[in-house]
Amino acid sequence: MSLKAIHVTEVPSLDHFPENPSLCPSRFSTGVELSKGVSYKIPKFLVVGHRGHGMNMLQSPDPRFSDLKENSIISFNAASKLPLDFIEFDVQVTRDGCPVIFHDDFIYSEDNGVVYEKRVTEVSLSEFMSYGPQRETGKRGKPLLRKSKEGKILKWSVQGDDSLCTLQEAFEKVEPKLGFNIELKLDDNLVYPSDHLSRLVLPILKEVCDYGKDRPIIFSSFHPDAALLVRKLQSTYPVFFLTNGGTEVYHDERRNSLEEAIKLCVEGGLQGIVSEVKGVFRNPAAVNKIKESKLSLMTYGKLNNVAEAVYMQHLMGIEGVIVDHVEEMTEAVREMIKPSNVDTHDTKPKPNFSERELSFLLKLIPELIQH
């Protein structure tokens, strides 16, 4: 089924979906405390691996961005060997109803030198799996290319390559104690009729319920109605709303500020917010509002690869960060938040930075968030 862009006012209400908390069995993940209401308590400061061991940026001179294929089993398993709490990855559903792990809306390839694109949700599972490295010995997959933000078509070349994978494979092949932050990936340029939205959400929920077992799981989405629908259809796993925190503007006003994100979560019974870190630094007063609303708060963004910026967030009461430089940031967080720095009379961790370093940090943050 092809989608077309329509105005948000044309989208039917989600009210016709019956609430079905029993869609997933009442099985709470280890380390996750989801109350009978809507509040969700993150038990510690979380470090989450972005797309596993980190995203790929093919044009970056930093070799860490082309280390392991993002959103792949090899990347997930490499992340599982680190002191990470969760990995984050993007899930879409193929034309024949199979949840697959892939970030971009379109998959790019070439045939006889001619580049072509196909929307991930409009290809079958077998076609999706035919791109890139193949598991079967001697079998050659179709070339896998990627379109950069600048519009350039690049060969998807990484040092540690791997085949594309399904959500089921991730459940079966990745260390079961590693938490999954499952982002429901939808196209920002489309508005989805509710019947189509349900066809994209339900297969994901089914696989999570079938294979999730005791694994810690958090759902998240930039799409307000997708997040609300997941919350409406199950009550086992927490649902977070992803937002740019006002750093970008969308037709859907619910996406345009932390205040709107708070309103959406409170009214829809969501458990937390994942904001672009710049949005939080530019609007630090929102952190208290989020806490007062009994919502959890995590962040994502390039600044989360800067140790000082992560520590600043810890001091602000933010509960977790999604990072790309997973090895460096897990080590930095371990050093910054040591149990030995907490005495029996004061439960607030003490900084492991010198006064000079903290002074530099305070001067640096405003400059960084302008870029």
| Structural domains of the chain in order of their starting residue, each with its CATH number | 46-104+162-337+352-370 (3.20.20.190)
How much is the pLDDT for 336?
A: 83
Largest CA distance in the chain: 70
Average pLDDT over the chain, rounded to an integer: 86
How much is the pLDDT for 11?
A: 40
Q: Residue 144, Cα to own-chain centre: how many angstroms?
A: 23
pLDDT at 166 over 60: yes
Average pLDDT score over residue span 249-266: 96
Task: Tell me the residue length of the chain.
Answer: 371
pLDDT at 116 over 50: yes
Average pLDDT score over residue span 190-194: 88
Name the token pair of 33.
Answer: 């405390």
Task: Specify which residues 33 forms β-bridges with.
Answer: 41
pTM of the full predicted structure?
A: 0.86
Nearest partner of 126 among 137, 105, 141, judged by Cα: 141
- In this predicted model, what pLDDT tens digit does every residue of 5-43 receive, in sequence order? 333 334 445 554 445 544 665 443 444 444 334 567 787
pLDDT at 247 over 80: yes
How much is the pLDDT for 145?
A: 98
Q: Is 305 exposed, middle or buried (0-12, 13-18, 19+ CB in 10 A)?
A: buried
Name the token pair of 240.
Answer: 């977070």
Average pLDDT score over residue span 65-70: 96
pLDDT at 371 over 90: no
Question: Picking from 65-69, 186-190, 321-325, which range would have the lowest pLDDT averaged per residue?
Answer: 186-190
Top pLDDT among 177 and 2 is at 177
How much is the pLDDT for 350?
A: 46
How much is the pLDDT for 360?
A: 52
